[in-house]
């Protein structure tokens, strides 16, 4: 029997679909027709998804020293952020629509400045590179609380050519291993917009569980968005 999707995730997707349909002008009959079409789609071949459904390597299977940076995976290296050489690259990644959410605070609903991102006491920042050293993305722990042993994880594959290759999954696993072993984290959480379907799927695959839905939590370009809170607890 296939693993069932958690009910809060299904509720989040249903709310997202309904909100978009209502904005388009769907009536009750239209919604019923939409549901019927979705059921028909279940019998058709699924399009190839950006996030693979194949089981990936588990955190317990990772090998290496995760008590300090850099950490090395099969295809990636995560090294410390270097303000002098990495600032311009990170700034460019964060300037587009894809990267802007990396610095959007889920608690204050405003963007964290580049200066605070690279120098804040409660922020830990790492750069994702290929094995050859080419920077392709960034990772962060925001709101790091050493006493409570928790932090919010952010991930970004900034290089467009490196997206859709499963690199975000590997990078996130390495970053979690670093957070647990070096920062002694016991609780890691992510806050993602409900419309980021691939991101939600990736988080669940790694081991995050839905903890709650913050309705109309953030205002972006004049439109309010729900934020899905997902958590990972050290086992």
pLDDT for 81-91, tens place per residue? 998 999 999 99
What pLDDT score does 13 carry? Answer: 78
pLDDT for 176-190, tens place per residue? 999 999 999 999 999
What pLDDT score does 213 carry? Answer: 80
Q: What is the model's pTM?
A: 0.75
In a domain, 161, yes or no: yes
Label residue 51 by pLDDT band (50, 70, 90). very low
pLDDT for 203-221, tens place per residue? 888 999 888 888 888 777 7
Residue 133 predicted with pLDDT over 70 = yes
In a domain, 122, yes or no: yes
User: Which residue range is the domain that position 95 belongs to?
Assistant: 48-233
Alpha carbon distances (Å) from 74 to 53, 63, 70, 94, 154: 19, 10, 13, 26, 21
pLDDT for 58-79, tens place per residue? 666 788 899 999 999 999 999 9
In a domain, 34, yes or no: no
In a domain, 167, yes or no: yes
In a domain, 54, yes or no: yes
User: Into how many domains does the chain fold?
Assistant: 1
In a domain, 225, yes or no: yes
Percent of the chain whose pLDDT exceeds 90 = 40
Instruction: Report which of residues 166 and 107 the model is more confident about.
Output: 166
The enclosing domain of 205 has a CATH number of 3.40.630.30
pLDDT for 136-145, tens place per residue? 999 999 999 9
In a domain, 77, yes or no: yes
In a domain, 10, yes or no: no
């Amino acid at each position: 029997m296939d693993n069932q999707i958690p009910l809060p995730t299904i509720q989040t997707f249903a709310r997202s679909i309904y909100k978009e349909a209502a904005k388009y002008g769907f009536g009750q009959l239209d919604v019923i027709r939409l549901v019927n079409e979705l059921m028909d789609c279940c019998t058709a071949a699924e399009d190839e998804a950006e996030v693979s459904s194949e089981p990936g390597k588990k955190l317990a299977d990772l090998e290496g020293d995760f008590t300090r940076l850099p950490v090395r995976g099969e295809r990636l290296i995560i090294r410390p952020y270097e303000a002098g050489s990495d600032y311009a690259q990170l700034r460019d990644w964060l300037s587009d629509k894809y990267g802007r959410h990396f610095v959007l605070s889920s608690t204050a609903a405003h963007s964290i400045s580049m200066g605070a991102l690279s120098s804040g006491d409660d922020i830990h920042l790492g750069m994702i590179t290929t094995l050859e050293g080419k920077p392709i993305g960034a990772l962060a722990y925001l709101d790091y609380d050493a006493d409570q042993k928790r932090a919010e994880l952010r991930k970004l594959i900034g290089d467009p050519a490196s997206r859709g290759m499963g690199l975000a999954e590997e990078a996130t696993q390495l970053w979690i291993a670093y957070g647990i072993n070096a920062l002694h984290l016991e609780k890691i959480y992510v806050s993602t917009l409900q419309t980021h379907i691939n991101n939600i799927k990736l988080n669940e695959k790694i081991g995050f569980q839905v903890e709650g839905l913050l309705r109309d939590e953030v205002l972006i370009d004049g439109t309010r968005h729900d934020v899905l809170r997902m958590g990972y607890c050290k086992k």
